[in-house]
Amino acid sequence: MDVEQLNERGELRHLISLAELTRSHLELIIEHASRYLTPAGQPAPRDDILEGRTVANLFFEASTRTRASFELAAKRLRADVLNLDVNTSSRAKGESIMDTIFTLQAMQVDIFVVRDASTGVPARIAQQVAPHVCVLNAGESDVSHPTQGLLDLMTIQQRKGDVRNLAVAIVGDIKHSRVARSAYQALSKFGVGELRLIGPAELLPEDDEFRGAIRQTDLTAGLDGADVIMALRLQKERFAQLSDIPDPQEYYRRYGLTLERLELAKRDAIVMHPGPMNRGVEIESAVADGPQSVIQEQVTNGLAIRMAVLALIQRHLGGPRAGAA
Ligand code: CP
């Protein structure tokens, strides 16, 4: 990646990838996020730190959790929020993404939140926007999903403490997963005890990726004694050919996370899933909704992490825009 994520004062300006950030940067974001957690049933946390600023959500790929949480995060920090409808935007008429960005920048958008199916799009935008403007990667092809990596790390630390003592098993379509790549980057910085990548051989990543991780095609062996299990869906949209997509029933028979298989892990193991879930394909409903599942906590932490990232990049923006009420 050829873009500097920090400004000249060492403050976060863009968030494109966790790979180039330090452990301290991740700790700062997670510590900040913990301030945006309140008990369920109480009013949602709010802050006026982005008053007078404008956030544009540009999702050129489907999303529920990331898009909704970035929108809520920006609104709870008092920003003006623009959600571009891709289907009715001029990109559908052939406008380039950079022309769309420059158009919105001319309307004084300060922060772009971008999801795209192509590799390199968030970095390319970050390289070309005006010096005060910030870009946040909300999911880039199979490469990077940094706020997801942060929320996953935060959830694991909340529930299990120091990751150096943990065996973390990621199960499923790891080859096509930006979630797995960002989780690996986050967990590696904190010295995760053991990272196991479990799935069919054709859905495991190349050998030169995920250095130090254990690759395993046998789910039974892979789950043995695990502290954390992260189930991933089959990312059908990223397979080169439809005929390469595994049959769902056969996949569930071999790699589905069932209650019976969960018993192979430690008794207090937690179950994670980034969503969206395909119940009965990569995970049994009884596991997804069961007592060991922390899937809804991941969603709650995701909103807090996105509030924290927006609040921290506000330091680059330099306080509320002049003239803000
Ligand atoms: N985990 C995640 O990125 O979910 P969405 O695709 O719904 O945003």
Q: What is the pLDDT of residues 207-250, one digit of tens each?
A: 999 999 999 999 999 999 999 999 999 998 899 888 889 999 99
Ligand 1 centroid to residue 138 C-alpha, Å: 9
What percentage of the chain carries pLDDT values higher than 70?
98
Looking from the CA of residue 61, the nearest atom of ligand 1 is 6
210 CB neighbour count, 10 Å cutoff? 21
275: Cβ below 6 Å to ligand 1?
yes
238 CB neighbour count, 10 Å cutoff? 15
Token pair listed for 43: 């009013």
Token pair listed for 28: 């700062």
Place of tokens 């790891």: 174
Ligand 1 centroid to residue 145 C-alpha, Å: 9
pLDDT tens for each residue of 188-202: 999 999 999 999 999
Lowest mean pLDDT among 159-173, 224-238, 272-286, 307-321: 307-321
Ligand 1 centroid to residue 66 C-alpha, Å: 5
Annotate 32-96 with three-state secondary structure. Answer: HHHCCCCCCCCCCCCCCCCCCCEEEEEECCCCCHHHHHHHHHHHHCCCEEEECCHHHCHHHHCCC
Q: How many Å apart are CA 128 and CA 111, to the nearest integer?
A: 13
More confident residue, 131 or 2: 131
Mean pLDDT of 152-176: 98
Q: Quick one: pLDDT at residue 323?
A: 44
Ligand 1 centroid to residue 63 C-alpha, Å: 5
Among residues 115, 124, 176, 261, which one is catalytic? 115
Give pTM, 2 decimals. 0.95
At 324, the pLDDT band (50, 70, 90 cuts) reads very low
Mean pLDDT of 249-268: 98
Mutate to test the pocket of ligand 1, among 57, 58, 63 (most ligand atoms within 8 A of CB): 63
Q: Is-catalytic flag, 316?
A: no
The amino acid that residue 38 corresponds to is: T
108 CB neighbour count, 10 Å cutoff? 13
> Mean of the per-residue pLDDT values for the chain?
95
pLDDT tens for each residue of 48-77: 999 999 999 999 999 999 999 999 999 999
Q: What angle do helix axes 23-34 and 146-160 make, rounded to 10 degrees?
A: 70
Looking from the CA of residue 67, the nearest atom of ligand 1 is 8
Among residues 65, 159, 215, 279, which one is catalytic? 65
105 touches 133 (CB < 8 A)? yes
pLDDT tens for each residue of 5-39: 999 999 999 999 999 999 999 999 999 999 999 99
Q: Is-catalytic flag, 160?
A: no
Element (H, E) at 146: helix 146-160
Which residues are 292's β-sheet partners?
none
Please determine, for residue 319, whether its predicted confidence score (pLDDT) is greater than 80: no
Looking from the CA of residue 115, the nearest atom of ligand 1 is 8
Place of tokens 């397979």: 239
Which residues are 240's β-sheet partners?
none
Please determine, for residue 100, whether its predicted confidence score (pLDDT) is greater than 60: yes
At 325, the pLDDT band (50, 70, 90 cuts) reads very low
61: Cβ below 6 Å to ligand 1?
no
Mean pLDDT of 112-120: 96
Exposed (0-12), middle (13-18) or buried (19+): which is 191, by Cβ within 10 Å? exposed
Q: Is-catalytic flag, 91?
A: no
Q: How many Å apart are CA 205 and CA 203, to the nearest integer?
A: 7
Q: Is-catalytic flag, 176?
A: no
Torsion of CA 275, 309, 79, 58, to 10 degrees: -50
Q: Is-catalytic flag, 93?
A: yes
Looking from the CA of residue 274, the nearest atom of ligand 1 is 1
Residue 69 makes CB contacts below 8 A (sequence gap 6+) with 299, 302, 303, 306
Q: Quick one: pLDDT at residue 87?
A: 76
Ligand 1 centroid to residue 179 C-alpha, Å: 9
